[in-house]
Structure 1
Amino acid sequence: MAKKAKNFKKSKTGVYVSAASTAFGAISVAKQARMAKNDNDTLRLIDAAVSAAAIVTGLAILYRELKRLGDDDVLLG
């Protein structure tokens, strides 16, 4: 069962699911940043910026994985 789950993460479907969950996280980070800016909360704003950087990195990794799987026409071309 664990091997099947590991193979799913490396499949195109698994990459798409990961990208969708990452995009959902981006919405949460955007809300956090907006609230922090409205409250003038520098620490929460820094946290949102670090989280946004992690999301960008995660999306770059997912894009690389899609290219590795041979799906070059998805996302950026």
Structure 2
Amino acid sequence: MSALTKAKGFKKSKSGTYLSMAATAFGAFGAVKQIKKARADNDTLRLVDAVVTAAGIATGLAILYRELKRLGDDDVLLG
């Protein structure tokens, strides 16, 4: 199996899904920071933007979690 084929399969592996979840969760820190700043400045528009961003992050994590459950024990890269 070539390295390129293995790399393409990484995204659909358990390890790749965990990595995607970590990267998405890391984005939550930016959203929290944006919410705090918007509340301190009483900026409603920025607060709405931050809440929508946080909702997108939560949705992304839920989708990744669902994909992780679908993978189950069928991980080809760990074996």
TM-score (normalizing by structure 2):
0.82
User: Which residue is equivalent to 2:71?
Assistant: 69
Q: How many residues align?
A: 70
Give 3-state SS (helix, strand or coil) of 2:42's partner.
Answer: coil
User: Which residue is equivalent to 2:60?
Assistant: 58
TM-score (normalizing by structure 1):
0.84
Root-mean-square deviation over aligned CA pairs: 1.2
Instruction: Report the Cα distance in structure 2 between the residues aligned to 1:42 and 1:23, rounded to whole angstroms.
Output: 24
User: Which residue is equivalent to 2:9?
Assistant: 7
Displacement, 1:6? 2.9
Gaps of 5+ in 1: 72-77
Which of 30, 40, 43 aligns to 1:41? It is 43
Task: State the structure with bigger RCO (CA 8 A, min sep 6), 1 or 2.
Answer: 2
Give 3-state SS (helix, strand or coil) of 2:72's partner.
Answer: coil
Q: Which protein has the larger Cα radius of gyration, Structure 1 or Structure 2?
A: 2
Instruction: Report the Cα distance in structure 1 between the residues aligned to 2:7 and 2:54, rounded to whole angstroms.
Output: 27
Gaps of 5+ in 2: 74-79
